[in-house]
Structure formats: C-alpha cells, structure tokens
Structure 1
Amino acid sequence: MALLFGILLLLGLCGNIISENTSEALDYELPTSKYETEDTYSPGPISVLFQMVRIFIYIVQPGDFPEDSIRKLIRNKFEVSTVYDEIAHYEIGVILCVILGVLFIILLPVVGCIFAICRCCNKCGGKMHQRPKENAPFQRRCLAISLLVICVLVSIGIIYGFAANHHVRHRIRKSQKLIDSNLKDLRTLVNEAPQQIDYIVDQFNTTKEKAFLDLDNIHSLLGGGILERLKPKVIPVLDEIQVMAKAIKETKVALENMNQNFKSLRDGSQQLSNSLSAVKQNMQNSLQGPECLLPQVSDICKNIESSLSQLEGNPELSKGYQSFNDIPKRVQVQTTNIVAEIKKLLNTVGSNVKDATKDIPIQKSLSEFNSHMDEIEKEIKQKLHRAEEVDSYWWLCSLISCFLLLLIVIFFYLGLLCGVYGYDKHTTPTTRGFVSNTGGIFLMVGVGFCFLFCWIVMILVVLSFVPGVNMEKLICEPYANGKIFQILDTPYLLNKEWKYYISGMVLKKPDIELTFEQIYSDCKNNRGIYSTLQLENRFNISESLDIHKHTDNINNQLERLDIKLGGIVLLNEEGKNNLKEFSNSGIDNIDYDTLLAQSKTSPGKVNLLSFSYDLDTKADRLPPGQLKQSMKSEAQTIRKIHQDQVLPMEKTQVDVQKNIKILQRTSGGLKEKVSKILQSLDSVQVFITNDISSVIVEETKKFAKKILRYFEHYLEWVELAVTEKMVPCKPVATAMDSAFKVILCGFIVDPLNLFWFGIGKATFLLLPALIIAVKLAKHYRRMESEDVYEDFAVSGTWHFTL
C-alpha cells in the first residue's frame, strides 16, 4: 500500500514542523485550495448485487469483527498458532464452504471418470434401450421444466460473473486517474501550507497599517472623541451666547436705524411745515384780493380760507468657539512624539514576526515530503502496471471460466430446444426423429463438459472465495465502521513502549491521546492539521509568534499620552461685562407701545392729496380769472408736497415701527436671559477647568483599547486559522478512502466477491442440472432397442422379443 505509506509519511513529517503565529487586523479569509478527488464513491446500479453478496457473506460468516483475536495476533507477531482456536471458530463458515468446494473439486472428476467407464460398459444408462412407462410423458415434462429453471438460475450466476469481470476491468483502468488525483491533492495540501503561513504573516502588516492610520488621525479620533464628550455641555452655552450676541447686534442696528429715522422725520416735518406755511400764506394773499369781494365767490373764498388751518405739520464670543474647536489640533501637536514611538515599536514587532517565520523549518520538511511523494508515485505506477498485468490474466481466466459455463448452459438450452420441439409422442424410442435425437446428444455433450470443466471452475471459485470473504470481513467492513482504527489505537499494541502509536510517531510523546480514529474523523471534517495532530504538544505556534509581549509595550506607550488642554476660555471678562452692560442699559424699560402708537400718527393734520382735490373742485366753481388760476396752482403744489415729502415720511414711519418691534422683541426678559447665560457659562467653565482631565483619560483609554483591539482580534483569528483552518487535512482522509474504500474494496473486493458468488452458484447448480440432463436425454435420443408386447390366442400367455 504505497499510497497508505505516503499518508503515514505525511503525518510523521508533520512532527518535524515548527510553526508560528501572526497578527490580524479586520476580517480575513484564509486562502484555500480546491481539490480534485471526490470524497464520495458510488459503484452504480451494480451496488445492489454487491449488497446481496454481503448478505450471503454475513450468512456464511455471521460473527462480529474479532478485535481481541487480532490484537492477540499482532502482539504475538502474527504467529497463527497462538490464536488458532479463535481463527477456526471465526472462520468456521468459510472452512465449511471451502470443504464443500474441495469435495466438489475432488469428487466431480472422479465421479465423471466412473460415470464415463460405466457408460462405456453399457451401464448407468449407457445401453441404448428404454422401457416404456405409463408416466413417461409426465416425467419428461418435469425433467425438462426443472432443467430449464436450473439453466436460467445458472445463466443469472454467469451474468453476475461477466458483470463482476467487466467492473474490475473497467475500474482498474480508472485507478491510475484516481491515484493521480489523490497525489495531486496531497501535493496541493503540502504546497498550501507555506502560502497560508505567508498569508497569516502578511496580515500583520495590514493590522499595523490600520493602527498607523488611526495614529495619524489621532486628532480626529482622540481629539474628536474629547470634543464630542464636551459638546453636550459647551455647545448649548456657546449657542445661547451667540444668540444673545446676535440680539445685541440687532438691537444696535435697530437703535441706529431709529436714530436715523427720527432725524429724518424731524427734518421732514420741519420742511413739510415750511412748505405748507408757504402755500397757506400764498392762498391767504390770494383770498384777500378784490375778486373774493364779489358776491358770487365770497362764500367759496370763505370756505377755502377756513380749511387753510389744516395745512400745518404734526410733532468676544467667536474666540470661545475657536478655543473649543482647537482641541483636536492641540491633541495632535501634543501626541506627535508618542505616535512616532508607537509606530517605531510596531515596526519592530513586524520585524520580529518576519524573523520568527524564517525559523519555521516547514519548507525543508515539505521538500522532504515532496521527494518522498515522487518516490511513492514512482512505486505506485510500477505496482499499478503489475496490477494491470495481473488483472489482464485474471480477466482472461475469469472470462474463460464464464464462457465454459456459458458453453455448458448453451448445450443444455439447445438440448431442451431440440428435444422439446423435435419430440413426437406417436413415435417409438427407436424411431425418434433427428431433431429430438440431436437434443439428447446436446444434453449429453453438456453433461460431458460439466465433468470436464466444472471442477476447474470450482478451483477458481475457492481461490477467490477465501480472500474475498476475509478481506470483506477483516478490512472493508471494519474500515467502514471504524473498528479497524480502534484496533490500531489499542495502547501498547503496535509498539510495546508507546501507549498511543500515532502520538509517539508524530509528537514523540506516546502518552498523549492521539488516535487514528480521531485523526481520520477530523480529516473527514476538513479540520486543520495543527488541531488534528495536536501539534501544540510538539510546538506551540502561539508562543512562536506571541505578540502579547509586545502589546504591553504598546499599551505602556499609549498610556504615556499626557494631553493638556488648559486655557480653554469660552468667554472672557470683557465679553461678560458687555453682556451685563447690555442687560443694564435700560432698553427693556422703554415704553415701546407708546412709541409704536406715535409712529403711526400721520405727518399732517389732513390728507394733503384729498385736500388738493377738494381745492381743485372749489377752484372750478370760481369764475375765470387770476384767483381761480392761483387756487389751481396751489392745489398742484400741495400734491407735489404730498408726493415729495409726505410719502417718504410715511415710509420712514414704517421703518420706525419695524425697529420698535425688533427692540421690543430683543429686550423682553433681557436681564433674566443674561443672568441664566452667565450662570451656565460659569458652570461649564468650571467643568472644563476641573474635570476635563478625566474626560481626556477616558478617551485616551478608549483610543488605546481600539488600537490594541486590532492586534487582539488578529491573534484570535490567527489562533482559529492555525488550529482549525490552516492546511485542512481532508485530502489525507480522501486518500485513505480511495486506497481502502474505493480501490481495494470497491474496485477489487466487491467485484471479486460478486464473481465467486455468481460463478460458484452456477457451478453448484450444474450438479442437479447434470443429473437431470442425463435422465432427460433418455427421452429424446433415438434408442437401439425397445420393449414390445404381443397378445396370443392362449389366454394368460405372452411372448417377449427384442
């Protein structure tokens, strides 16, 4: 079993490998290879026949796997005499079958010789004479049907033989491809190990780069963390101060605007008063003229004069924000040296990791295994070539035996065919036809071949039966249920000085419980070879690449982060004084309702536009002349005064109203607001001065924990990858299954058992077929003589003639 030797060699070489750990940063996926060999095997529809043969084997040999006997045999260095009784008891069914086969082999040619001699002496049915019997037709039919049924059963057995022979021939040719795929998978397994180790080591650089990135961004991560912790306390106060500052600004602008508006209103009122006075004077002069003395216009002039009386005029926060927002920048400046030292330390750790990987002798061990693999492959090819040659001889012998039996059955079929269809019940034995006689001859030829070849075929059956049954019961079945591993795992069995053989071979520590069964089960589940072989007892990968001794140094460097954020002033004394002066300015004591009501008063006593239109109406009632023309001119002047002076004053009044409302809004509860803001400001300033150090410590610890967590997470991944995923040994279990379950049991043992089962059944069934054929041939062959009965005149007398 060169392939099995290669598997065990791989396990042994694993004991010489010393591995190492690396680090990990985020999420990684260990690269794995795809294997060619399928881990399942199905023989196809012929498996039903294999199962039928196993049932027969269980009937022949129903005993359980003789674990104790095999252990005793191994301990006594395979001296059969020490377990002869146990072997005989276990093999009793096989022995009985072999005895029957040997008796068949011995007796059949002897009986054949005796039968031939007897026939030559006209005995044993050799005399061509037949006595007529009343039940002859019934006897003939029963013999024919019995022979037909037996021939059908024999034919089925021969078909089993042909199927088994073809299966062996077909599968053996595929063995080379299966072996090549297994060897390729084992090479892939070997080549996969250094790639996976390099991948694990390389991930330390990824982890380190991630840590470097966080260290470079310490201003946003650590400084930003401190900033976020302070924001809930500082920002609301600063926002209130900002709102108050905005209110102060709006108040100042509103006051300045009101001042401008009041000045503009004073100037406008004076100008309006002067303009209206001039118009009034002109109109009075015109009304005192001689034209108003006329009776028809005197009333109009008085009316205009009476209305002239209406033409008269009517009487440092941004610095607080900057100081607070400068925290991340100050953090970065104060941590520059510490960050550089941490990076230097991480680079040193990376160098140590790379140096440690160079000490792993895995390449040498794997190269040694590869050289053995070449030798194993060469040896397998040589043995496979020999196996193909042996298979050719076996195939030829099996084919000849199947054809010999088939020839016998064909003669029986031809005998039955010719005998049945050529038989004429109206003919006498001496007058039977040619076809019937030929049928009888075919049956006797078949009988002759039975005596000539069946004992030879039985030799082949016995020679295949003994190893076939024992390999099924002692190798295939215990391999399938795992009992063969339990035998190998028996303490001190394979080596009297080692409690567990595989642990002594791989780990050099035979007291560690490492068993074949556990290795096979773990490899079937595709576990890593490190965990499967318990290599932590041979070399500890975690200790070889132990980064914990460096994490303490990293943690110490991070704890040295001493950040000072003193001098943060949200609002200086000057700003506080400004707020106090603003609250004490008395702006909140102004009677804004009175001001607002006064600002809504019209600039004049009357609406000048209406007055001018009324003056025009009255002027139109005057007779043409200088007076009418004068009134018309003054009306136009009044409208111009309204347009140029009254309307701008009204617009200014609207602006005054807006500013009054602004002042009214900003001055409401001014003292209370300012007092509350100053209290909150003092509270926050005390917190920043006294308690900011605790915030810095907490955020520094969070930042350090985040950096260290990268490496802790990496180590957790390394431990999982190395122990469970690195170099999964499923190809080892697959190779073992290919060697035992597929090639040995599936390609050789199962077809071998099916062959002897089918051919053996056919050969044994030919014994009754032989006897029946001899008897049946008598009914079909043409006889040389027969019995004739004739009646005479004298009653009670008869004469017999030949």
Structure 2
Amino acid sequence: MKYIFAITAVCLAFANFAMSTSLNYTDLPQENYNEVTVDISVSSLSHLFVMTRDFVNIVFLPFSSLESFLYSLVTGGVNGSSDFLNDLLNQWQALAALEVGYLACLAAGLLFIILVPLVSFIMCCCRTCCDNCGGEMIQTRKRTRSKWRHCFCVSLLIITVFIAVPCVFVFLTNEWINDVVKLFPEKTSASLDDVIKYIDSIPNQLNHITDQYGRLDQSLRTDVSDIGNTLGIPIRDEVLQMSNDSLEQFMQLSNDLDGALSALADVQSATSALDTSVAELNSRLSTEKTALDTTLTSCPSAFGGCSALQASTSALDSGGDFSALGDVQTEIDNINSTLNAADTDAQINTVLQEINDIPQIVTNNTVEVVDGVLDTLTEINSTLTSSLGELPLASVQDFKSQISSVNDSIVQATTTYAKNYDIYRYIAGVVLGSVFAVICAFYLMGMLMGTCSYKEERIPNLRSCSSNCGGIFIMTAVGLSFIFSWLFMILVTVTFTVGGHGERYACQILEEPYEGLKFTDKILNATGIDISATLQNPDAGLTVDGIFTSCKENESIYNALKLEYVFNITEVIQNSTAQLSGFQDQLSNVSVDLSSIQVYSPEIQSALNELKAADLASIDFASYLSEISNVVSAAQLSTYAQFLNDTADNVSSISPSFASQLRGHSYNILQIEELYLAPVTADLTRLNTSILMLQDLSQSFNTSIDATEDALIELDAYIQANGSALVTDQATQFSDALIGDVNGFMDWFGIQVTENFGACEPVYLVYTQVVSLLCDYLMDILNGLWFCLGWCVFFLLPGAIVGMKLAKFYRKLDIEDSDGYVNGPWNDMEMAAFNHSNNSNENGRSGSAKFRFVFLISLLIFA
C-alpha cells in the first residue's frame, strides 16, 4: 500500500512542476554589422589633410553665416521667385560678401593665370628679340665679388625644399588614390550591405515576435484544451491534500489488519505444529513409561526404594491438557475469515480512484468553457496579427531595392573606372609630380654644379663649363616654372573651388553637429515636403534630424519613425488585455460537481462494520494462555533422568543388572528431552508470542476502526460542503495563470517593440561611414591635391626670380672694360681668351638670339 502513495506523490509533483513552468522569451535577434573604417595608409597624408582643412576653414565662412542666404535662395527668397538663377543673380552682392575669402583666392588665382603667361611672353620676346631678358649678359667685377650669390643660393635652396615637400605629397596622394580606387567600392558595398542587413532584420524581428506569440498561443491552447489536467489536477491535489490524514488513518487500519491477519496465521501455524510435536512427545513418554514400569517389577527386594521408584513414573505423564485449544482455534478461524473478507486495500484503492477521477470530471464539465476560451485566443491572435500588418514595411522594402541598385551602380562604376580610366589618372598624377620633381632637380643640380665650380677671381666669360651648366640648369627650371605654373594654377583653381566648398559646406555640415540635417529639415518644411507621408506615417511629424538623433541613441525604429501613429503599441496591448477579461468571465462559469465523490461509501461502511463485528477483543486470550502454560516441564525430565542415575548408583551393589537397566532408561529420557521436548518448547514459545501480539492488536483495533470511520465521514462532509469553493478557487488561479502568461508576453512585446525593434544605430553608423568615405577618401584626396599643387605653384615664381638672379653668377657673361678687369691681375692667356670671347660674342649674338627665339616659341606651343 505504501508504494501506491509514493507513486501518486511523484506524479503529482511532476504535474505541478510542468504546470508551474512559465514561458521565457528571448530578445529580438540583432544582426552583426561590418566595422567600416577609413585608414590612411600613409600617415603623413593625415597631417596634409589637417592643414588643408585648416586652410579651408580660414578661407570660407562657417555654414551658419551662409545658412540664411541658402535658405532664402532655395525657398525663393523675399521675392517669392522660383527661378534659381534669377535669385542667385539678384543676390550676388550678398553671396559675394559671404564668399569674400574664396573670391580673394579666386582673384589671386585668375591674376596668376593671366599675368604669368603674359609676363612669360614678354620675357621671351625680350630675351629673343632684344637679348635683354634679366638685364644685359654682363657682370661687373664688383657684382662678381659681392655676397648676393650666397644670399640667392640659400634662398633658392629654401624655396626648392618648400617645392619638394608638396611634390612628395603629390606622389603620395597619387599612390593613395590607387588604394582608394580599390578600397572605396569594397567599403561602400560593406556599408550599403549593412543597410540591407538592417532592412532584412526588420521582418526577421517581426517573425521572431510572431514565433514567440505562437509559442504563447500554443501553450495557452494546450493548457485550455487539456483543462482536465491543468485545472483538474490542482483540484485533485487539493482533495488529496485534504484526504491525507484520512487516508493515512485508513492505511494505518489496513496495516493493523495486516498485522492481525499475520498474527492469526502464526497462531494457526504454531497450534498445528504444537499438536504434532505434543502427540509425538506423549507417545514417546508413554512408551518409555511402560518400559520403565516393566523394569521396576524386577526391583530387588533388598533395595528399600522400590516403592518410591514405582511411584516416580508419573513424571513421564504429558502434564498438560490441550483439549480447550480446539474451541479457541475455531473462534480464530471465524475472525480470520471476517478480516480477509473486509479487504481494506481494495477500499483504499476505491477512495483513491474516486479522487483521481477528478480531472476526467473537470474535462466532462468544461467542454463549452474550453470552446469559449479558445475563441477568445483566436480573437487576440487576430487583433495582434492585423495590428502588425499595419506597419509600413512596403516602404522599407522599396528603400532596400533602391539601396541595392545604388550599390550595384557604385560597384559597376568603380570597376569600369578602375579597369579603363584609372591608369590615365595615375599617369597624369605622375606627370604632375614629375614636373615639380624635375624643377627641383634642376635647381639642385644647378646650385650644386655652380657652387662647386664657382671662383670669384675668374673673369665671367671664362667661367668653367660645369659652372655654366649649373646656370643653364637653373634657367631651365625657371623656364619650366613659367611654362607650367599658370596651367597648374588653372587646375588648382578648379579643384579648390570644388574641394573647398565641398569640405566646408558639405562634409563639415554632414558631420557632427550635423548642421546639414537641421538645414534639410528647414528646407523640407519650407517646400512642403513631408517625409512622414513618404514613409506612410503622415501624422508623425518626422524630421531628418530627429530620426538621425534617435538612431544615434540606438532607439528602436518604432520610436525613431514615431510608428505609434500607425501601430500604437499601447492600444494594441490594451485591446488584447481587455479581451483577457473574457478568460475570467468564461472560467468563472466552470462548474464541477464533486458531490459524486464519496470517500465514505456504503461499501467502506459495510467493510468497517464487518471489521467491528469480527471483534478481536472477544477472543479468550486468558484461556488460550492458560492452556499453553499447562505443558510438560522440561526441568522434570532432566531431573527425573538424574534421579534414575542416582538410584542406579545406589542399587548397583545389590543388583548390577537392575542398575544397568535404570541407567538405560535415564539415557532414553534424556534423548526424549533433546529430540521431542525441545520442538514442543519452541512451538509453545512461538504460539505464546503470536497470542500476545494478537492480544495487543485486539486492544487498539476497534479504536482504529472508529478513528478511520470518523476521518472518512469528516472528509466526505468537507468535500460535499466545500467542493464548489475549491473548484472556483482553482479556476480563478488557472485563469490568473493564463492571464499572467499573456500579460508577460504583452510586457515583453511592448519592451521589444519600443526598445529593440529595428534598433537603428546601424543606420547612424552607415551614415557616418558613408560620410567618412566620401569626405575622408574622396574629398580629402581632392583637397590634398589642390593644396599640394597650390603650395608648389606658390613657390615657383619666387624660385624663378631668385633662380634668374643666381644663374648670372654661374653662367658665362660679358664684362665691362671700365670695370678694371683689363687692368686687374690677369695673365696673358686669360687676356687672350678674354679678347677672343668678346669677338665671338659680337659675331654670334645675332645667331644666338634667333635660336633662343625659336626655342622659347616651341616651348610655349608645347605648353
């Protein structure tokens, strides 16, 4: 019986654990996005870009100074005109005031572009036609010995270094563009792929929400459909808990009954064994007594104790009368049959079966309630599904298509450019850098050759070939400077116009503090463009800056796009929660009739009455014990055997044969004691123990029956009186559990939608990445290019001027007669060379002039 209760307890514990397990919901899945960084592979370029941005910030006014003008220009201005060009022409003075820094740089550039070719042409004409460019090709003795040569050389060296530094930047920038061409499509695609991932994550998150609700719906439907277990088992457990004392009392009665039956069986077994052993003992004793009586007839008359010996044979009688045991045994058999007929185990199983049938009773009585609750769950499901269907996902998918198209276009355009055109750009960059490198190389070669071979004492027209080559190198660099500088200035002006405005009024306003986004909102409001309507959320009042700020803080798309105007999560939760009241109303109608449960049934009552009628206490245990005490005494047999031995010793002198016979009878008696009296003693002990145990049980048996009867009656009355309240209480707890599960999901649903659904920090990251790519890759490269070129061009003219001055110290020149060269410390050979040089200069001057004219005209045509 104890195993029945153990198994039942385990089943109840498992059922309670299963029903108490609540649903746990995981957070919305989030995508892993690419970490797109803009790395400058050449660290020196970062310093170049910083200098460029600082220069741009000096030249151009902040965007805040230009904002009102742009606003009036875009929105039509005070005249309400819709012609952009007319508005721009009408407000050119305001624009000029705002662009004064740029206009100053532009004016300087235009002057440079105009004046440098003009001056170059004039110098060319003077040089070729008048042979007087830079003054006459003579040098006085005083000039030759002056320190101006050192000053010009140091100045030109410094200028050359200043030209060489940006020249290096030109080459580095050109190489960096190669990396950009390779990296830009890859990094752009990675950023745009993040946008596509983010867009794809939104329906995935919706599917996750739907899946989690599916789990809840399935759990609720399972609980409601299996109401016999989910509601019936708790009711059954309550009844079992209330029945615990009664069933334990009933079980104790059953254990007492089992003990009584076991004791009765022991009495029956011990009595039967005793009958057999006593009969065998009496037979042996009777045989031995007859043999002893025969032996005593030959007792010698000379022995005076013969009469006493003959009288002592009564010690071999059985010594007990067990005839009364038969009447007691009949009484025990009657009680035993009555107890077996009661079958308390079967009655306990009947009570347990009545209680375990409660889940089936609940199932049978709640069919209509279950159907109503399932209909309510269907309504909640429909409400949630229809609400989710109102989200404007079509716009998001359209945007995804546009992003994919842009991504494909960028990849295709960059691939085509890299394959077909980038080589030309690279060659052009190398040519640009090479021109400046050649100019710097010529300056350095000229200074090196001229300085190393220059001697102040030497007559100018007798200067060495290496000194003259140094001067020619310098003049070649001067010529290249005049030829290319104005062309480079055109390139600088164009790129500065685009790059400077792009850096100041595009990149910087698109970066933090994002003035461009705020300005965009102002323009959209002024022009009547509503991005809320574009996103199918016309009442939201969305702004670009507001969306961007929300995404920067990683808010959900629900908050960023103010989707409460389309899908109000609060209303959805309230509507769904309102429908939950139907649970309580429907489950409050649960009616389970427990009156059919009778733990104190007529069968149990009859069985208990039969147990009472058996009346174990009516057994005459005193007579039974009295009969048991009237047994053969074990002490008399051994004593009597010793008595015979002692008598044999006394009579041995008179009749040895008689004494021997007595000793044989003594031995036989001891054998009877050992072989036949010991089993009788054991059976008597066993019987006595069983009778005493049965006597003890008989004293409490009727009390146990009465206590069991009272407990069952009380339990039956409690179930009949409180069964309805018990059902109502459990139904309320069941409905509260269902509502708790739904409320738990709604709380999770609200948190996920308002905090995690479409958390749009990836949009902010993609924006910053794209701006970084456009500005740090493209715009910085463009600005670095014009800044390097402008830097070089800025030093070309001073370098040309100083170079022309310095070249006259290295080249072969004419001399003045009046300067004292002739009367100076010259030897005859130098004087002869001096005279020959003067004659040659006079004769070859006209031919040299023609050659230089043709050469310079050819250079101008080539340029």
Q: Judge same fold: TM > 0.5, yes or no.
A: yes
**Structure 2: distance between partners of 1:162 and 1:272:** 134
Would you say the 8 A contact 1:615–1:635 is kept in 2? yes
> Contact between 2:468 and 2:811, CA under 8 Å: does it hold in 1?
yes
Distance 1:506 1:126, change over 3 A: farther
Match of 1:97?
Answer: 105
Read off the aligned partner of 1:59 and give its amino acid letter.
I
Q: Deviation string for 1:476-497 (max 9, x for gaps)?
A: 111111111111223xx42447
Displacement of 1:242 in angstroms is 0.9
| 1:779 shift after superposition | 3.2
Q: Is the 8 A contact 1:310 1:605 kept in 2?
A: no
| Counterpart Cα distance in 2 of 1:95 and 1:577 | 120
Q: Does residue 149 of structure 1 match 2:147?
A: no
The offset of 1:516, in angstroms, is 0.6
Gaps of 5+ in 1: 1-23, 793-800
> Which residue type is aligned with residue 799 of structure 2?
A
**Map of 1:185-204 to 2, 5 A cutoff?**
197=206, 200-201=209-210
Matching residue of 1:503: 532
| Cα shift readout 1:733-771 (whole Å, capped 9, x = no counterpart) | 56644554313x133211111111122112212333233
**2:541 is aligned with 1:513:** yes
CA–CA distance in structure 1, aligned partners of residues 428 and 602 of structure 2: 116
Find the aligned partners of 1:638 and 1:141 in 2 and give their Cα distance: 159
Aligned equivalents of 1:504, 1:366: Cα separation in 2: 13
1:106 aligns with 2:134: no
User: Do the aligned partners of 1:190 and 1:366 also contact (CA within 8 Å) in 2?
Assistant: yes
Question: Which structure's relative contact order is higher, taking Cα pairs within 8 Å and 6+ residues apart?
Answer: 1
Q: Distance in 1 between matches of 2:233 and 2:521?
A: 62
- The residue aligned with 1:465 is 496
Q: 1:578 to 1:554 in 2, by over 3 A?
A: closer
Q: After superposition, what is the alpha-carbon deviation per residue over 1:206-257, rounded to whole angstroms, capped at 9, x for unaligned?
A: 4443333323433332121112233333213311221133123313432453
Residue 519 of structure 2, aligned match among 487, 507, 524: 487
Aligned amino acid, residue 485 of structure 1: L
Partner residue of 1:74?
74
Contact kept, 8 Å, 1:615 with 1:631, in 2: the verdict is: yes
**What amino acid is aligned across from residue 517 of structure 1 in structure 2?**
D
Residue among 561, 564, 575 paired with 1:536: 564
* SS in structure 2 of the partner of residue 784 of structure 1: coil
8 Å contact from structure 2 (residues 447, 470) kept in 1: yes
Q: Is the 8 A contact 1:415 1:441 kept in 2?
A: yes
Q: Which residue number corresponds to residue 253 of structure 1?
A: 262
Deviation digits for residues 450-485 of structure 1 (CA, Å, limit 9, x no counterpart): 122112212211221122122111111111111111
Q: Which residue of 1 aligns with 2:464?
A: 433
The code of the aligned residue for 1:97 comes to: C
Deviation track 1:384-431 (CA, whole Å, cap 9, x = no partner) reads 689778977766655443332222112112212323333456755444
Q: AA paired with 2:599?
A: L
Report how far residue 39 of structure 1 moved: 4.8
Residue identity opposite 2:73 in structure 1: L
SS in structure 2 opposite 1:253? Answer: helix
Helix, strand or coil at the partner of 2:524:
coil
Matched, 1:329 2:338: no
CA distance in 2, matches of 1:171, 1:461: 21
Which residue of 1 is the match for residue 239 of structure 2?
A: 230
Report deviation, 1:258: 3.6
**Which residue in 2 is equivalent to 1:17?**
none
Measured against aligned partners, the alpha-carbon deviations of 1:636-671 in whole angstroms (never above 9, x if no partner) come to 542443345322222223323543564476567778
Deviation at 1:525, TM superposition (A): 6.0
1:207-246 aligned within 5 A: 207-246=216-255
Deviation at 1:699, TM superposition (A): 1.6
Which residue in the other structure is 1:761 paired with?
A: 791
**Alignment match, 1:563:** 592
- SS of 1:210's equivalent in the other structure is helix
CA distance in 1, matches of 2:803, 2:652: 168
Identity of aligned residues (%): 25
One-letter code aligned to 1:483 = E
For the residues of structure 1 that align with 2:230 and 2:261, how far apart are their CA atoms?
42
**Counterpart-to-counterpart distance in 2, 1:337 and 1:508:** 43
Equivalent residue number for residue 141 of structure 2 = 131
Cα distance in 1 for partners of 2:101, 2:390 equals 60
Q: Where do 1:728-747 residues align within 5 Å?
A: 733=764, 736-737=767-768, 739-743=770-774, 745-747=775-777
Q: Is the 8 A contact 1:529 1:726 kept in 2?
A: yes
**Change over 3 Å in CA distance of 1:574–1:182 after alignment to 2:** closer
Corresponding residue for 1:53? Answer: 52
Give, as a single letter, the amino acid of the residue that structure 1 aligns with 2:74.
I
Which deviates the most, 755-764 or 82-91?
Answer: 82-91
In 1, distance between residues paired with 2:249 and 2:288?
56
Amino acid at match of 2:530: Y
**Is contact 2:555–2:760 with CA below 8 Å preserved after alignment?**
yes
Of 431, 434, 444 in structure 2, the residue corresponding to residue 403 of structure 1 is 434
Deviation at 1:557, TM superposition (A): 3.9
Cα distance between partner residues in 2 of 1:268 and 1:385: 118
- Greater shift after overlay, 349-358 or 160-169? 349-358
Residue identity in the other structure for 2:677: V
Structure 1 residues 275 and 81: CA distance shift in structure 2, 3 A: same
The aligned amino acid for 1:223 is: G
**Hey, what does 2:804 align to over in structure 1?**
774
Counterpart residue number, 1:18: none
CA shift in 2, pair 1:260/1:738, >3 Å: closer
- Preserved CA contact (<8 Å) 2:256 2:701: no
Deviation at 1:103, TM superposition (A): 3.3
| Structure 1 counterpart SS, 2:635 | coil
Q: Which amino acid aligns with 1:775?
A: K
SS at match of 1:494: helix
Which residue is equivalent to 2:858? none
In 1, Cα distance between equivalents of 2:413 and 2:216 = 51
Shift of 1:306: 8.5
- Taking the aligned partners of 1:140 and 1:618, their CA distance within structure 2 comes to 171
Letter paired with 2:109: G
SS in 2 for 1:571: coil
Q: TM-score, normalised by structure 2?
A: 0.74
Unaligned runs of 5+ in 2: 1-21, 321-346, 826-834, 839-863
**Alignment-mate amino acid for residue 129 of structure 1:** Q
Q: Does 1:282 align with 2:311?
A: no
- Secondary structure at the residue paired with 1:464? helix
Measure, in 2, the Cα distance between the counterparts of 1:140 and 1:598: 158
Contact 1:447 1:773 in 2 (8 A): yes
Q: 1:314 to 1:438 in 2, by over 3 A?
A: farther
Q: Which moved more, 1:110-119 or 1:93-102?
A: 110-119
Confirm or deny: 8 A CA contact 1:196 1:726 kept in the other structure: yes
Q: Contact between 1:615 and 1:632, CA under 8 Å: does it hold in 2?
A: yes
1:518 deviates by 2.5
1:161–1:664 Cα change, 3 Å: farther
Deviations 1:606-642 (A, max 9, x none): 1646765785687689589763564355345424433
CA 421–278 in structure 1, closer or farther in 2 if over 3 Å, else same: same
Task: Give 2:134's aligned amino acid.
Answer: C
Preserved contact between residue 73 and residue 82 of structure 1 (Cα < 8 Å):
no
CA distance in 1, matches of 2:136, 2:699: 146
- Asked if structure 2 preserves the Cα contact closer than 8 Å seen for 1:161 and 1:756, the reply is no
| Pairwise CA distance, 1:31 | 6.0
Contact 1:105 1:458 in 2 (8 A): yes
Alpha-carbon displacement from aligned partner over 1:320-349 (angstroms, at most 9, x marks no partner):
333223222322333345435544665677
Equivalent position amino acid for 1:532 in 2: A
In structure 1, what is the equivalent of residue 850 of structure 2?
none
